[in-house]
Structure formats: C-alpha cells, structure tokens
Amino acid sequence: MPNDDQKHAPLRVLHLEDSVHDHLLVRREFQKSGEPLEMVHVENLEAFEAALAQKNFDVVLADYRLPGFTALDAWQSMKGLAVRLPFILLSGAIGETAAVQAIQAGISDYLPKEDLSKLRHVTQRAIEMHHIVLAREQADAELAQSQKQLASFAEQLQITIEQERAAIAREIHDDIGGSLAAIRFDLAWIGRHANDADTRTHVSAATDMLQHAVEASQRIMMNLRPAILDQGLVAAIHWLGDSFSRRTGIATQIRAQMHSEHLPKAIQLTAYRTAQEALTNAGKYAQCTQVKIDLAGDAHFLTLEIADNGQGITDSTQPKEGGFGLNGLKERAKTVGGWLDISSPKGLGTSITLSIPLDADQPMTQERQTP
C-alpha cells in the first residue's frame, strides 16, 4: 500500500495514445481531483520504450489499437524491459475476446473511453493491487529464504547430532566396553578359583548381570551409531525390526526389496532414523499388536513405510509442544530431497511413509523377505 509520502507525490502516468484529443480528455479527468499530476504522452512503440527507460511511472494507460501495433505489443515490450507497472487499457470498444486476452496476458484492467468518469478510481485500484502483488511476492521471497535457511540449519543440526552420537558410541565402546570386558575376565577367574557354593552362585548372578550390561551397551551403541548400516540398508532395517519385535513382543513383518544397496550415507541414515523413530512411537503409544515395515527402492525412488494396527494418533499421543519427533523426521527428509507422509485415521493405526527420489543406476544386490 502507498505510504504518506507516496500519497502526496505527483501521480506519474505514461499515456500511450495516438489521439491528442483523447489524451487531453484523459489529462483533464485526472486534473479534476486537484492532485499533483505528471503525465507523459507517447504515440508509438519507440517513444513508449524510451519513456520507460528514462523515467519512473506509477501506471500505464494505453489505447488498444494504435498505428502498426496494439497495446498487447506494448505490454510485451514493457515486460521485455523488465519494467513492472500496472497497465490499464483505455480504449474504445475492443470486443470481449480482445479484452479477455488482454487480462489473461497480465494487463491490470480495461476501461472504455466513454467511462472516463471512473478513470481515477480504476487507476487507484490498479496501483493498489500492484503494490499488494509486489508486497506478497517480497513476502514469499523472504519466506522462501527463511525456509532455505531453516532447511540448512536442520541439515547442520542433524550432522552435529550424528557426530555427537558417534562420539558417545565410541566412548561407550572404548571406556565402558573395556571395563565390562575386564570385569568379565575377573569374574571368570573368581569362578574358576572359588571353592564354596555361595561364591559361585554370586559369581554366576554377577556374570548374568554383566551379560545384560554388555547387551545394553551394545544396543545403546547401535542406536547411537548404526554400524549395521555398513552391511546395507536392508540388513539395518531387518535388524531394527527384529530387535523391536524381540524387545516389545509385537509381531513385526518386514519386506525389503532394493534395486541397489549403493545409496549415499545420508539417505541410508535418514531411512534408518525414520524407521527407528516410527518403531519407537509404535512401541510407546500405538497399543498395537502388529507392525509392518515395507522398504522398496528402484533406480529412481526409495520408499519406506512403517504401519501399525494400533489406535492411531490421538490427542494424548500428539507430539508435545516444543517436541521434535515426527517434525524432526520431516525436516531430516527434506535434507535429502525427500518428504514424509503420515496417515493416522482414528482407531485404524498409523502409517508413516518416507519417500526419497534417487539418481541410481545399479543392479539389484539384495532382496530379503521376512513373513
């Protein structure tokens, strides 16, 4: 919308008209308001282009039919000069077809010459609409830039998170893993040299607890840094599904068919984390008895779907305010050019589908199915 300074500035009009008489009538109509006016009159396309190059205008008024060209030619010429202004046809009867073509081409409005009394209103409306369009385009551009920055931030955040997870996994392996191994040797030595039954019983119990600790540390390391991905995405998805089924007792059906296992690490990790988060949510909130995992990939597309037969997403299972969860998965999918779809009809379970376009041309290397 125009600001106060613009309201008091002269209205700058470029008038393309081959009739001096008609031009004077238009000028007189504008002058009735008593507001400042700067009006340039041109009669041909060359003068029209020269005026646009030399001076800034608020609006263009143009007769439709001019010697050797039409207003549509002037409109195209203005576009070619990368000048954007409200453009109003001010002409005699031009026919409905020509008027529709002009509006479809992008011309702002059409006013018959016999309706000059409406000229100031039509002009002001065209200028205001032009300002609204420019403001919206600027807002859209700023939004697109913000989304681009957000996507870049999300990508960097995911990289940082994975680096921290890998560092923690290494510490668990080197420090805790080494300590647990030393304890295992000591317990084995005590068990071999113990003579009384009570000591052996305690050693056996401690060995069992130690085994639980070892398995827990290995599971934590696998969750932090999925080394199983070194064996391929198919193997990793099967490991996730099998582990989930053993841990929760929920029947898990896995179907994995890949055109190629030679996928970028970022895509493999995105698919793995998506499956991991979806299974975690299913185990915590879905109240389901079955989960199906379907991994499919050809030369052009990778699709991963995790579906359960639970209660669906309810108010009590909605992500808490400030939570990352599924929103984080959506942002992660964007970092590899993919997207996440979530379907959760109440009482009919939840389906989470990850889709990622690929540029691969590799033969199929793995195909496994688990009933």
Tens place of pLDDT per residue across the chain (371 aa) = 455 555 568 999 999 999 999 999 999 999 998 889 999 999 999 999 999 999 999 999 999 989 999 999 999 999 999 999 999 998 887 777 787 888 888 898 988 888 899 999 999 999 999 999 999 999 999 998 988 888 778 778 777 877 787 788 788 877 888 888 889 888 889 888 888 888 889 889 998 998 888 888 877 877 777 778 888 899 999 999 999 999 999 999 999 988 777 888 889 989 998 999 999 999 998 899 999 999 999 888 999 999 999 988 876 555 554 345 678 788 889 888 999 999 988 778 999 999 999 874 433 334 334 43
Helix/strand/coil for 339: strand
Segments forming the whole domain that contains residue 302? 228-370
CA distance linking residue 24 with residue 281, whole number of Å? 75
Predicted model pTM: 0.54
Residue 217: which of 190, 178, 255, 251 has the closest Cα? 178
Helices 325-335/119-171 angle, 10° precision = 100
Q: What is the DSSP string of 23-76?
A: HHHHHHHHHTT---EEEEEE-SHHHHHHHHHH---SEEEE-SEETTEEHHHHHH
| CATH number for 287 | 3.30.565.10
The answer as to whether 220 is a domain residue is no
Q: Write down which residue in 138, 164, 195 finishes a domain.
A: 138
Cβ-Cβ contacts under 8 Å for 10 (sequence gap 6 or more): 35, 36, 37, 38
Helices 45-54/71-80 angle, 10° precision = 40
CA distance linking residue 98 with residue 7, whole number of Å? 33
How many folded domains does the chain comprise?
2
104 burial level (CB within 10 Å; 0-12, 13-18, 19+): exposed
18 burial level (CB within 10 Å; 0-12, 13-18, 19+): middle
Q: Write down which residue in 116, 138, 160 finishes a domain.
A: 138
Quote the pLDDT of residue 238.
93
Quote the pLDDT of residue 3.
56
